[in-house]
Amino acid sequence: MLTLKNVKKDYQDFRLDCSLTLQKGEIVGLVGRNGAGKSTAFKIALGLVTHEGGTVELFEKPIHKVTAKDRQRLGVSLADSSFNEFFSIKEIISMLKNFYPQFEKAFFLEKCIEFQLPLDKPLKEFSTGMKARLNILVAISHNAELLILDEPTAGLDVIARGEILTLLQEYLEQDESRSILISSHISTDLEQLCDSLYFIDQGKIVLNEDTDVLLDDYGILKLTTDQYYELDKAHIEKALPASFGYRCLTKQRRFYHENYPDIVIEKANIDEIVLMLMGGN
């Protein structure tokens, strides 16, 4: 569905240099702090920003050969783009009907009513949560095969984030061949949705792993200074100083359980992995 291979993009104070792959039927998350390169990678994947090295393929075509008809297979929601603030949902429906032959008006209206989105008011009167719900509805209402969603839950409360994730899960259940590439700095939102996660920091992919492996095999070791210097560090991914000594990230939690029964070892959640990867030495 989508491949970025050694893609490079230089700005004055930032460089993107990353690779990622999304297959049919996969849900892949791109996790990183604000400014890590998520939005740049998405815009390059869509052909909205030119790249200076590497290759980009969308629907098994080089990005420059992707046609307008191909793009109808996409559902897109970008963090820094939206409809004109003076448009109403009724006006947006007219545009969607003209642009997407497979636009599902009945479904779209049903969900607008469910989410209490007013049809006649201009978007400038919508809250952040209302705009986020609308952006997702636009992306999924024309039978798209691939969704590319940049920070769709940013700035939302827990209830609104849950509604959007539920909407995406329903979209996937309708057709198992559909795919999603979604970014977030709220990594726990992606645990229930994504098959695998890419972690990006300062424009580089620092880890790519199946979500199940991250949650089952990764762990945090809490060590005194003496324990740290006596430790076999062959399976340590990152280490950070702590008030008690050191915190260490490992992919081999069971190895340390079996060989170091006296040290404290905890299962790592996604947020802890992010903190370790983006702050460790």
* pLDDT tens per residue, range 83-120: 888 999 999 999 998 889 899 999 999 999 988 999 99
Helices (H), the chain: 38-45, 68-71, 89-99, 105-114, 128-140, 158-173, 188-191, 211-217, 225-230, 253-259, 270-277
pLDDT digits (tens, 9 = 90+) for 8-39: 999 888 999 999 999 999 999 998 888 888 88
More confident residue, 120 or 154: 120
pLDDT over threshold 70, residue 280 = no
Provide CB contacts within 8 A for 143, sequence distance 6+: 102, 104
Find all residues with CB under 8 Å of 158, minimum gap 6, and list them. none
Q: Please, what sign has the CA dihedral across residues 259, 260, 262, 263? A: negative
The answer to whether the CB of 56 falls within 8 A of the CB of 47 is yes
pLDDT of res. 155: 77
Distance in angstroms (rounded) separating the CA atoms of residues 136 and 128: 13
Measured distance CA(265)–CA(17) in Å, rounded: 34
Higher pLDDT, 244 or 281: 244
3-state secondary structure of 5: strand
Structure tokens at 240: 């950070």
Taking residues 242-246, report their average pLDDT. Answer: 93
For residue 258, pLDDT beyond 90: yes
The answer to whether 77 and 139 have CB atoms below 8 angstroms apart is yes
* pLDDT at 217 exceeding the cut of 90: yes
Q: Which long-range contacts (CB under 8 A, 24 or more apart) does 127-130 make?
A: 128/155, 128/156, 129/156, 129/157, 129/160
pLDDT at 81: 65
- Determine the Cα angle at 272 with ends 164 and 227, to 5°: 165
What's the mean pLDDT in 179-188?
84
pLDDT attached to residue 165: 86
Banded model confidence at residue 153, pLDDT cuts 50, 70, 90: confident
Q: Is the pLDDT of residue 281 over 60?
A: no
- Give the Cα separation of 98 and 117 in Å (integer): 22
pLDDT at 12: 86
**Looking at residue 142, what is its pLDDT?**
92
Give residue 279's pLDDT band: very low, low, confident or very high (50, 70, 90). low
Question: CA-based angle 168:59:2, to the nearest 5?
Answer: 65
pLDDT at 109: 93
For the chain, the structural domain boundaries read 2-213, 218-277
pLDDT score recorded for residue 80? 66
Q: Report the pLDDT value the prediction gives residue 166, as an integer from 0 to 100.
A: 87
Q: Read off the pLDDT of each residue in 165-181 and give the average, rounded to a whole number.
A: 89
- pLDDT of res. 113: 92
Which are the contacts of 178, defined by CB distance < 8 A and separation ≥ 6? 25, 144, 145, 146, 147, 171, 172
Distance CA 16, CA 36 (A): 9
- Helix pair 89-99, 128-140: axis angle to 10 deg: 20
What pLDDT does residue 29 have?
Answer: 93
Q: Which one-letter DSSP state was computed for residue 13?
A: S
Tens digit of each residue's pLDDT (9 = 90 or more) over 137-147:
999 999 899 99
Question: How does DSSP classify residue 122?
Answer: B
For the cut 70, the answer to whether the pLDDT of residue 135 exceeds it is yes
pLDDT of residue 88: 93
CATH topology of domain 2-213: Rossmann fold (3.40.50)
